[in-house]
Amino acid sequence: MNAPDPVFEAPWHAQVFALTVHLNEAGHFAWADWATRFGATLARQGVARDLNGGDDYFTAWLETLESFLSELGMTNADAVELLRDKWEAAYLSTPHGAPVTLD
Protein backbone atom coordinates (compact mmCIF):
# COMPACT_ATOMS: atom_id res chain seq x y z
CA MET A 1 0.00 0.00 0.00
CA ASN A 2 1.41 3.38 -1.00
CA ALA A 3 1.52 6.20 1.49
CA PRO A 4 -0.81 9.07 0.61
CA ASP A 5 0.70 12.24 -0.75
CA PRO A 6 1.15 14.87 1.95
CA VAL A 7 -1.57 17.48 2.13
CA PHE A 8 1.02 20.24 2.40
CA GLU A 9 4.22 20.46 0.37
CA ALA A 10 6.28 21.89 3.24
CA PRO A 11 5.94 21.93 7.03
CA TRP A 12 5.68 25.72 7.13
CA HIS A 13 2.60 25.54 4.87
CA ALA A 14 0.85 23.38 7.46
CA GLN A 15 2.05 25.61 10.30
CA VAL A 16 0.82 28.88 8.82
CA PHE A 17 -2.48 27.22 7.90
CA ALA A 18 -2.90 25.84 11.44
CA LEU A 19 -1.99 29.20 12.99
CA THR A 20 -4.62 30.95 10.89
CA VAL A 21 -7.28 28.39 11.83
CA HIS A 22 -6.31 28.69 15.51
CA LEU A 23 -6.53 32.50 15.46
CA ASN A 24 -9.96 32.26 13.84
CA GLU A 25 -11.19 29.65 16.32
CA ALA A 26 -9.86 31.77 19.21
CA GLY A 27 -12.12 34.60 18.02
CA HIS A 28 -9.50 37.01 16.73
CA PHE A 29 -11.27 37.34 13.37
CA ALA A 30 -14.16 35.95 11.37
CA TRP A 31 -13.31 33.43 8.65
CA ALA A 32 -15.31 35.45 6.12
CA ASP A 33 -13.08 38.47 6.80
CA TRP A 34 -9.99 36.28 6.35
CA ALA A 35 -11.33 34.77 3.12
CA THR A 36 -12.06 38.20 1.65
CA ARG A 37 -8.53 39.41 2.34
CA PHE A 38 -6.89 36.19 1.16
CA GLY A 39 -8.98 36.22 -2.01
CA ALA A 40 -7.83 39.78 -2.71
CA THR A 41 -4.18 38.77 -2.22
CA LEU A 42 -4.59 35.78 -4.54
CA ALA A 43 -6.27 37.92 -7.17
CA ARG A 44 -3.52 40.52 -6.93
CA GLN A 45 -0.69 37.98 -7.10
CA GLY A 46 -2.26 35.25 -9.18
CA VAL A 47 -3.12 37.16 -12.30
CA ALA A 48 0.15 36.33 -14.08
CA ARG A 49 0.68 32.80 -12.73
CA ASP A 50 -1.12 29.75 -11.43
CA LEU A 51 -1.08 29.46 -7.64
CA ASN A 52 -1.20 25.71 -7.06
CA GLY A 53 -1.09 25.34 -3.29
CA GLY A 54 2.72 25.38 -3.17
CA ASP A 55 5.09 28.08 -2.01
CA ASP A 56 3.42 30.83 -4.07
CA TYR A 57 0.05 30.04 -2.53
CA PHE A 58 1.33 29.91 1.04
CA THR A 59 3.54 32.96 0.57
CA ALA A 60 0.34 34.79 -0.37
CA TRP A 61 -1.35 33.19 2.67
CA LEU A 62 1.45 34.41 4.97
CA GLU A 63 1.42 37.89 3.45
CA THR A 64 -2.32 38.08 4.05
CA LEU A 65 -2.02 36.84 7.62
CA GLU A 66 0.75 39.31 8.46
CA SER A 67 -1.15 42.27 7.04
CA PHE A 68 -4.44 41.19 8.63
CA LEU A 69 -2.82 40.79 12.07
CA SER A 70 -1.25 44.22 11.65
CA GLU A 71 -4.63 45.67 10.70
CA LEU A 72 -6.14 44.08 13.82
CA GLY A 73 -3.38 45.59 16.00
CA MET A 74 -2.00 42.17 16.94
CA THR A 75 1.40 42.92 15.39
CA ASN A 76 3.08 45.47 13.15
CA ALA A 77 5.37 45.36 10.14
CA ASP A 78 8.47 46.22 12.19
CA ALA A 79 7.86 43.40 14.67
CA VAL A 80 7.25 40.92 11.84
CA GLU A 81 10.43 41.98 10.04
CA LEU A 82 12.49 41.74 13.23
CA LEU A 83 11.19 38.25 13.98
CA ARG A 84 11.74 37.16 10.37
CA ASP A 85 15.34 38.41 10.58
CA LYS A 86 15.88 36.49 13.83
CA TRP A 87 14.55 33.27 12.28
CA GLU A 88 16.74 33.75 9.22
CA ALA A 89 19.84 34.26 11.35
CA ALA A 90 18.97 31.21 13.45
CA TYR A 91 18.41 29.12 10.33
CA LEU A 92 21.69 30.20 8.75
CA SER A 93 23.67 29.47 11.92
CA THR A 94 22.08 26.07 12.67
CA PRO A 95 23.97 22.95 11.56
CA HIS A 96 22.24 20.96 8.83
CA GLY A 97 19.70 18.55 10.30
CA ALA A 98 19.53 20.22 13.70
CA PRO A 99 16.30 21.90 14.81
CA VAL A 100 16.20 25.66 14.32
CA THR A 101 15.43 27.55 17.50
CA LEU A 102 15.38 31.17 18.61
CA ASP A 103 17.35 32.30 21.65
The reply to whether 65 falls in a domain is yes
Distance CA 76, CA 73 (A): 7
Number of structural domains found in the chain: 1
The reply to whether 97 falls in a domain is no
What digits encode the pLDDT tens for the residues 42-62? 888 875 566 667 788 899 999
The reply to whether 69 falls in a domain is yes
- pLDDT at residue 51 in the model: 66
- Expressed as residue numbers, the domain containing 69 is 52-91
Spell out a b/e string for 64-73, using b for 16 or more CB atoms within 10 Å of the CB, else e.
bbbebbeeee
pTM for this model (two decimals): 0.79
The reply to whether 78 falls in a domain is yes
The reply to whether 27 falls in a domain is no
Q: Is 6 helix (H, G, I), strand (E, B) or coil?
A: coil
The reply to whether 58 falls in a domain is yes
Higher per-residue confidence, 18 vs 6 = 18
